Amino acid sequence: MELVLYKKAKDITMKRYLLIPVLLTAWIYSSAQNYTPVDSSSSVKFKVKNLGFNVSGNFSGLQGTITFDPNNLSACKFDVSIGANSVNTGIDMRDNHLRDEDYFDVKNHPRIKIVSTKITPSTKSGVLYFFGNLTIKNTTKEVSFPFTATQKNGAYEFTGEFKMNRRDFSVGGGSTISDNLTVTLDVVTKRN
């Protein structure tokens, strides 16, 4: 009888010990909040040299989900995309050319997507580091860059900038356009 009671008590104790990590994990992931990008308040801009002159443009159609908690970076996740068709440099003829097969091929690849793999602190106060994958035209490459997260209206505004090589994604030919461009992100969110 004592042996049976001892085994039952031991089983209950083991179940409690097993339950602690499960509850702790659930608490950690539940502490991060979910946010949605607000396209009308956000901007995704790029700058590239063409014939030695700076050409700038932007994209819109921002959508996706962001899970963020500055106190628990391991729970953070960014899964966001923009509409490739929305490319806008202010010149219709050039924008239509950028939508063609040689550049963004928007007919077959309507979205440009970025997904985080991890978020880490940086050596600079108030600055975090984004590591993730950028997908353009079914080509995925790793990207990393510093960014800031500022509380705004009960949600966050994320700002960052990175450089990329357009040829890594088979975007465009033309020797007059620089291979390298700068992308600037200013993503305003709302809480889900």
Q: What tens digit of pLDDT does each residue of 48-81 get?
A: 998 889 999 999 999 999 999 999 999 999 999 9
Residue 45 near residue 35 (C-beta atoms within 8 A):
no
Query: Does the domain formed by 32-191 have CATH 2.40.128.110?
Result: yes
Strand partners, 72: none
CA-nearest of 190, 188, 191, 192 to 44 is 188
- Mean pLDDT, residues 178-191 taken together: 97
At 6, is the pLDDT very low, low, confident or very high (cuts 50, 70, 90)? low
At 1, is the pLDDT very low, low, confident or very high (cuts 50, 70, 90)? low
Q: Where are the domains of the chain?
A: 1-31, 32-191
CA-nearest of 122, 21, 143 to 78 is 143
Q: Is the pLDDT of residue 83 over 50?
A: yes
DSSP E strand boundaries for the chain: 33-37, 43-50, 53-68, 77-88, 111-121, 128-136, 139-152, 155-165, 177-191
- As a whole number, the mean pLDDT across the chain is 89
User: pTM for the full model?
Assistant: 0.82
Residue 36 near residue 66 (C-beta atoms within 8 A):
yes
Report pLDDT for 52.
Answer: 85
Q: Is the pLDDT of residue 26 over 50?
A: no
